[in-house]
Structure 1
Amino acid sequence: MLNLDPYISKTPGFPKQGITFYDISPALEDPVILKQANAALCELAAPMQPDLIAGIDARGFLFSVPIATHLDCGVLMIRKAGKLPGALYQSTYALEYDNATLALQHDRNVAGKNIVLCDDLLATGGTLSAAAKLVDMAGGHVTGAVCLIELTGLKARETLAFPVASLQTYEF
């Protein structure tokens, strides 16, 4: 299994005291590690049989396209509020330190399709849960999620109604 730990910087106290920010920038800067991470995410996503990989704004976008290209499926962008025009499905959720809203355009071709969510970090599960609600509103079916990092101590995967696969785990 790929060990991303040396390529993830940790910043305690950001964005607020008691939170550690896990930054994937060093992994993105290393072409060998980036290629290995993409390949590993593809292996995790393939059994979920996606029609679309839903990249979650913004770091989920970085990995959704290579996964989709490798698995011969499309990409769906789930954006932060205010970033999309037209009629939208919206879902608000709590972060560890704030609230946020995700959006998906009504006219995306999602109905009846298997969707695999892709994000950089699974912490409380709020982001993945909100993204899954959007897919559900649009008539799609979330078959799973892939993440680079999972904070296992927060037990988010236990609250989600779909399988989650991650490359690197930390307790908190």
Structure 2
Amino acid sequence: MVDLSKYVREIPDYPKPGILFRDITPMLADPQALAAAAKAMAAPFLDMKIDIVAAAEARGFIFATPMAIELGAGFVPIRKPGKLPFDLHSFAYELEYGTDELQIHVDGVKPGQRVLIVDDLLATGGTMEACCRLLEKCEAKIVGCSFLIHLAQLGGEDRLNPYHCHSVLTYDQDDLESELSPSGRV
């Protein structure tokens, strides 16, 4: 069994005062922990006949590719403008101070394909919500969203309703120690 929380380094006041940053680079550097994290993120979806695992750049890519292999699915990247060379679907969304945009190749996901969306972190849910809207535009069947870390106090899961969200590690504002979901130890 691998206790994945031991591979998450806490860095206070980064990137600004009052923020406790959850650094996953120690986990990424350990092959056993990295493999365990990808398997734990994929586990609830093993029997759901996933066709495509999609992820927004960049840290979502780290977990999405091994998860796609684990699930016997393909991988499709969701990127910022100017990164994909073919015909695109685009979705613009609001940020706290401006807008951003995500894009996917028009042939990346076919209508009706069963898609799992992946990212390393669920905070406010803005990027993942934009990924969901972009994939809805592609007429995909979104099976769920999977995360390594969920910062529960920021409300991101509510924003992704009605989609099923799975997180391996959950952190609450009142508890700076990790609160592990049942799959937190793998």
Residues paired across the two proteins, number: 172
The residue aligned with 1:170 is 171
5+ residue gaps, structure 2: 174-186
- Segments of 4+ in structure 1 off by > 4 A? 94-99
Extract unaligned runs of 5+ from structure 1.
none
- Cα RMSD over matched residues? 2.1
**Matching residue of 1:149:** 149
Identify the residue that residue 21 of structure 2 maps to in structure 1. 21
Output the CA distance in 1 between the equivalents of 2:84 and 2:14. 28
Residues 56-115 of structure 1: CA deviation (Å, up to 9, x unaligned):
211111111111112111111111222112332222335577753221122324211010
Please name the residue that 1:84 is paired with.
84
Q: Does 1:32 align with 2:32?
A: yes
Cα distance, 1:26 vs structure 2:
0.6
8 Å CA contact retained: 2:52, 2:109: no
Partner Cα separation in structure 2 for residue 17 and residue 97 of structure 1: 19
Change (3 A) 1:31 1:65: same
Quick one: distance in 1 between partners of 2:114 and 2:166? 16
TM-score normalised by structure 2 residue count = 0.82
What is the identity, as a one-letter code, of the residue corresponding to 1:51? D
What CA distance in whole angstroms lies between the structure 2 residues aligned with 1:79 and 1:168?
25
Q: State the one-letter code of the partner of 1:29.
A: A
Q: What SS is found at the alignment partner of 1:142?
A: strand
After the TM superposition, which residues 95-134 of structure 1 pair with which residues of structure 2 at under 5 Å, given as runs?
Answer: 99-134=99-134
Partner AA of 2:156 in structure 1: A
Alpha-carbon distance between aligned partners in 1 of 2:100 and 2:18, rounded to the nearest angstrom = 19
For residues 33 and 69 of structure 1, the distance between their equivalents in structure 2, rounded to whole angstroms, comes to 17
User: Quick one: which amino acid aligns to residue 167 of structure 1?
Assistant: V
Q: What letter corresponds to residue 122 of structure 1 in structure 2? A: L
CA contact (8 A) 2:10 2:23 kept: yes
Larger radius of gyration: 2
Distance change (3 Å), C-alpha of 1:98 and 1:153? farther
In 2 relative to 1, CA 159–89 (structure 1 residues): closer, same or farther, beyond 3 Å? same
Following superposition, the deviation at residue 48 of structure 1 comes to 4.0
Q: In the alignment, residue 60 of structure 2 is paired with which amino acid?
A: G
1:165/1:88 Cα in 2 relative to 1: closer, same or farther (>3 Å)? same
In structure 1, what is the Cα distance between the partners aligned to 2:144 and 2:119? Answer: 12
* Change beyond 3 A, Cα 1:84–1:169: same
